[in-house]
Amino acid sequence: MPQIVFDQVEKSYGSVRVLPPLDLSLNDGEFTVLVGPSGCGKSTTLRILAGLETLSGGEIFFDGAPIGALEPKERDIAMVFQDYALYPHMNIAKNMSFALRLQKAPKSEITEKVQRVADMLNIGHLLDRKPAELSGGQRQRVAMGRALVRDAGTFLFDEPLSNLDAKLRGKMRTELAEMRDTIDKNMVYVTHDQVEAMTLGDRIVVMNEGTIQQQGSPEELFKSPVNMFVAGFIGSPTMNFMDGALQQAESGLSVTGDGYTLPLTAEDAARLHNATSRDVVVGLRPSSFERNASLPGQVALKVVVAEYLGAQSVLVTHCGQQELLVEMQSAAPLKAGTTETFGIRTDEIMIFDKASGLRL
């Protein structure tokens, strides 16, 4: 299980640069999730790591040894593909044992390994079937099984759950989370789904347009995003952003904008005291609202739509001209069209620089 280091890794197709120089290190035994919107370079990064794409510049090191020129098979990796990439003409046992058979492993060992992994994944009864005879979820398991049988040092997952329906995806996500704890390997997982990233990753690397925006634990990313992109990408429902301006009042620093004025905590005030720009963007998580008149921040919102989700409801509201999402317990239903006053936990307010998008 090597430590993997990307050193100034670049990728271009002709004159199109998809990955500007990228530095990244993946620690031994960690479950790292690369997450970002489509086209952010996360899949390319994974494919470069797998050796399916060549490097246009820079180098990758496994435990200090450069591997950029090595063939995929020399890198001790196993990979699960988005479309499973099973061999359609081989049965499941043959699919899972392909790598071992190429290595000319003893027959008894192959049978034993395949059986053990198949039992672990509950596909033991399917070994004689062809991939076309399996449902999507079963194919997904076979793809996992094929990677596990290899017993490689590093596992790569390229959006492995995105072809499954919502219910099955949730189930497989849980199973993956269990697997993560039982298998002590490097795992690199690519997804565009921040829920998968949050639930699976020991460490999440948020990417956008080929560059790493931030990396850290799920909690770090949620609680202290470094910029508006990360703040908006992590968390569901997504964070509300409102234009505003910092204002020094007699009671302390506050931020004000269309339809609201919110006091900032002393801590924020001290940090923002020297902020060069007065034009900011206020970030508010939908979960920061509470129907509590004793909170320091109070704002009047016009409820436009109430989306009932069971225990929770998501309210789409208007604050002046801006749309705000508010997450509430469904117990006290609010009617659309009414204007209500909500309390805001001011210690959860995030202030971003309007020009650069960076957290202030």
Partner 1 sequence: MQTANVNRLTPYLFMAPALIVMAVALMYPIGYMIYASFLNWNPSQRIGEAEWVGFSNYINLLQDDAFRESLWVTLKFAAIVVTLEMIIGVGLALLLDRNIRGMSVLRTIFILPMMIAPIVVGLMWRYMYHPTVGIFNRTLKSLGLEPIPWLSDGSWAFTSVIIADIWQWTPFIFILSLAALQSLPRSALEASRIDGATPWQQVIYIKLPLMMPVLIVTLLLRLIDAFKVLEVILVMTNGGPGLSTEILSLRINRTAAEFRELGEAAAMSNYLLILLLLLTVAMYLYNKAVEARAARLRAAAGGDA
Binding footprint of partner 1 on the chain (CB under 8 A): 50-52, 71-73, 77-79, 81-89, 98-99, 102-103, 129-130, 132-136, 138, 146, 150
Q: Where are the alpha helices (DSSP H) in 71-132?
A: 92-102, 107-120
Residue 118 to residue 320: CA distance in whole angstroms: 58
Preceding omega of 72 cis (within 30 degrees of 0): no
Least Å distance between CB 339 and partner 1?
Answer: 49
Contact 118, 145 (CB under 8 A): yes
**Environment class of residue 65 by beta-carbon count within 10 Å: exposed (0-12), middle (13-18) or buried (19+)?**
exposed
Residue 99 to residue 24: CA distance in whole angstroms: 29
Question: Between 186 and 240, whose beta carbon lies closer to partner 1?
Answer: 186
Residue 300 to residue 342: CA distance in whole angstroms: 6
Structure tokens, 207: 């990417």
Question: Between 189 and 342, whose beta carbon lies closer to partner 1?
Answer: 189
To the nearest 10°, the Cα dihedral for 333, 339, 344, 349? 120
Residue 114 to residue 61: CA distance in whole angstroms: 31
Least Å distance between CB 153 and partner 1?
Answer: 13
Structure tokens, 308: 């009932």
Least Å distance between CB 133 and partner 1?
Answer: 4
Question: Between 53 and 290, whose beta carbon lies closer to partner 1?
Answer: 53
Question: Between 61 and 98, whose beta carbon lies closer to partner 1?
Answer: 98
Question: Between 51 and 216, whose beta carbon lies closer to partner 1?
Answer: 51
Least Å distance between CB 10 and partner 1?
Answer: 21
Question: Between 91 and 238, whose beta carbon lies closer to partner 1?
Answer: 91
Question: Between 183 and 272, whose beta carbon lies closer to partner 1?
Answer: 183
* Residue 104, CB-side half-sphere exposure with 13 Å CA sphere: 0
* Residue 137, CB-side half-sphere exposure with 13 Å CA sphere: 14
**Environment class of residue 356 by beta-carbon count within 10 Å: exposed (0-12), middle (13-18) or buried (19+)?**
exposed
Residue 5 to residue 48: CA distance in whole angstroms: 12
- 245-260: buried (b, 16+ CB within 10 Å) or exposed (e) per residue? ebeeeeeebbbebebb
**Helices vs strands, H then E, count in the chain:** 9, 20
Least Å distance between CB 234 and partner 1?
Answer: 29
Least Å distance between CB 177 and partner 1?
Answer: 24
Question: Between 80 and 242, whose beta carbon lies closer to partner 1?
Answer: 80
Least Å distance between CB 98 and partner 1?
Answer: 5
Least Å distance between CB 330 and partner 1?
Answer: 34
